[in-house]
Amino acid sequence: MVVDGFFIAGAVVCLLAALVCIVAAVIKQPPNDITILSVAAVELFLLVYGIAAVARQAAGEAVAGEVWEFWGYWITALLVPVAAFWWSILERTRWSNLILGAVGLTIFVMLVRMEQIWDGALAV
């Protein structure tokens, strides 16, 4: 699989956000500014990733897989942090931090799949 800078940046953001949220849950903290902002960083990355993908396609770079599948993953990925944010606001317990932590891990897996679709690599 060819790995580009966007994937590496996304992996770092997602895994750091997951780590922050999981540690907060382990030390029994309710959702706070740090955990919520870490998930907001994942959302911000996804927005930048989408803008960059549009620019790359407009510049003539082709998606090796199905374009609709790539954009379907991206749109779904945008919704995951928003849903977790609302969950953490409505249920202010330490368990909400685990939900926020799951966002980072889920988006990381989705990024791997989006990278496979973009570059045409087979799943290993």
Q: What is the pLDDT of residue 121?
A: 66
Query: For the purposes of burial, counting CB atoms within 10 Å of the CB of 2, is it exposed (0-12), middle (13-18) or buried (19 or more)?
Result: exposed
Please give the pLDDT value at position 63.
86
As a whole number of angstroms, the distance between CA 6 and CA 35 comes to: 23
Reported as a single tens digit per residue, the pLDDT across 83-109 is 999 999 998 888 899 999 999 999 999
Listed in sequence order, the residues at least 6 apart from 13 whose beta carbon sits closer than 8 Å to its beta carbon are 41, 42, 45, 104
The answer to whether the CB of 13 falls within 8 A of the CB of 42 is: yes
Helix ranges (H only) for 1-124 are 5-26, 33-58, 67-90, 94-119
Query: Higher pLDDT residue, 111 or 119?
Result: 111
In tens, the pLDDT along 56-88 reads 999 988 888 899 999 999 999 999 999 999 999
Structure confidence at residue 2 (pLDDT) = 60
Q: State residue 75's pLDDT score.
A: 96
Q: What is the pLDDT of residues 30-60, one digit of tens each?
A: 999 999 999 999 999 999 999 999 999 999 8
pTM listed for this prediction: 0.89
CA atoms of 90 and 108, how far apart (whole Å): 25
